Amino acid sequence: MDDSINRQEQIQQVVWWHWHRRLYNWVVHWADTRFGMLALILLAVTEPICVPIPADVMVVGMCLGKPKRALRYGLTCSLFSVLGGTIAFSLGLAIGPERVVQFFEQISFGPIDLARRAQQALELYQKWDFWAISISALTPVPYMIFSWVGGMAEVSLLKFVGISVIFRTMRFGGEALLFYFFGERAKRLIEKYFNTATVVVIILLALVAYAVKQLGHLFAG
């Protein structure tokens, strides 16, 4: 009850022009209501499409209130986040790389060739699609941007969904596990070690990918 009152006070105290912070507080306050699960699902779906507030805030808020339901919240957020990412991917696919380049050709000015840079960005995404999707799904890098661009770059939808399921589950499921086992202390652990943990995971993934590549060459020879 006290947490709910404090959050309401935070919403009222933020000055009106700090719209992003007010939106953040408004989103979090739903965790204290009976519509918390619905709000979590809506945020998880819309975040990869157009909402700048990470779904983590709802997962953390709801897990703090009911740690024993944390796994349910984490898995729900993971699955609906991938659904939202798939919608954004499909919209990007409908736009296609040709329209992206044409758009930047029309607004290019001066010595900066925006169309060429847009084309290079799409080509880089196609080349490094696994890393682009996995890093954006796991870390604070905006998953929304890479979901849209993934479709624009016309990467494999199956690959996008598969990688997203794995790494979004690692992210939200990992947060949920911390709250399930550690409760209130998990919030401090996430705030203190989240970035470090994601860097370690990415390094491990790089090592695994390198090992798989080397094994492939070995067996091919």
Structure tokens of 141? 């890098």
The whole-number pLDDT of residue 16 equals 41
SS (H, E, C) 19-49: HHHHHHHHHHHHHHCCCHHHHHHHHHHHCCC
For residue 159, what pLDDT band results from cuts at 50, 70 and 90? very high
Question: How confident is the model over 163-173, as a mean pLDDT?
Answer: 93
Per DSSP (E only), the strands in the chain are none
Q: What range defines the domain where residue 79 resides?
A: 34-91+156-220
Encoded tokens for 146: 């890479």
As for how many domains the chain has, the answer is 1
The verdict on residue 183 lying in a domain is: yes
Residue 61: helix, strand or coil by DSSP?
helix
Is residue 119, in this structure, part of any structural domain at all?
A: no
Residue 80 covered by a domain? yes
CA distance 115 to 120: 9
Token pair 């979004």 is found at: 168
Query: Based on the number of CB atoms within 10 Å of its own CB, is 59 exposed (0-12), middle (13-18) or buried (19 or more)?
Result: buried
Q: Taking the complete model, does pTM exceed 0.85, yes or no?
A: no
| Average pLDDT value over all residues in the chain | 79
> Does residue 107 sit within a domain?
no
Percent of the chain with pLDDT over 90: 31
Flag whether 162 is in a domain. yes
Reported confidence tier of residue 183, pLDDT bands at 50, 70, 90: confident
Decide if 68 contacts 173 (C-beta within 8 A): no
Interatomic CA distance for residues 51 and 73, integer angstroms: 19
- Half-sphere exposure of 169 toward its Cβ, with a 13 Å CA cutoff? 9
Express each pLDDT in 186-200 by its tens digit.
767 666 766 666 666
